[in-house]
Amino acid sequence: MSRSRTTYDEYKDTADWLLAQTSRQPRVAVMCGSGLGGLTDWLGDKIEIPYEKIPRFPQSTVAGHEGKLVFGELSSQQCVFMKGRFHFYEGHPIDKVTFPIRVFHLMGVESLIVTNAAGGLNEQFKVGDLMVIKDHLNLPGFAGVNPLIGRNEERFGTRFPCMSNAYDRRYLQHVLDSASELGYRDFMREGVYCMVAGPSYETVAESRMLRMLGVDAVGMSTVPEVVLARHLGMRVLGISLITNRSVMEYDSAVQAEHQEVLQVAQERAQALQGLVARVVEKMK
Residues acting as catalytic residues:
34, 65, 87, 89-90, 117, 220-221, 244, 258
Considering the complex, state which of residue 111 and residue 222 has its C-beta at the smaller distance from ligand HPA.
222
Q: Least CB distance from residue 33 to ligand HPA, whole Å?
A: 9
Q: Least CB distance from residue 221 to ligand HPA, whole Å?
A: 8
Considering the complex, state which of residue 171 and residue 201 has its C-beta at the smaller distance from ligand HPA.
201
Q: Least CB distance from residue 257 to ligand HPA, whole Å?
A: 9
Q: 282: closest CA among 130, 106, 74?
A: 74
Which residues sit at the interface with ligand HPA, rule CB under 6 A?
Answer: 117-119, 196, 201-202, 218-220, 243-244, 246, 256, 261
Q: Least CB distance from residue 38 to ligand HPA, whole Å?
A: 17
Determine the residue with CB nearest ligand HPA.
119
Distance CA 130, CA 210 (A): 19
**What is the SS3 string spanning 13-67?**
HHHHHHHHHHCCCCCEEEEECCCCHHHHHHCEEEEEEEHHHCCCCCCCCCCCCCC
Considering the complex, state which of residue 189 and residue 278 has its C-beta at the smaller distance from ligand HPA.
189
Considering the complex, state which of residue 220 and residue 237 has its C-beta at the smaller distance from ligand HPA.
220
Considering the complex, state which of residue 103 and residue 118 has its C-beta at the smaller distance from ligand HPA.
118
Q: Least CB distance from residue 133 to ligand HPA, whole Å?
A: 14
Q: Least CB distance from residue 243 to ligand HPA, whole Å?
A: 5
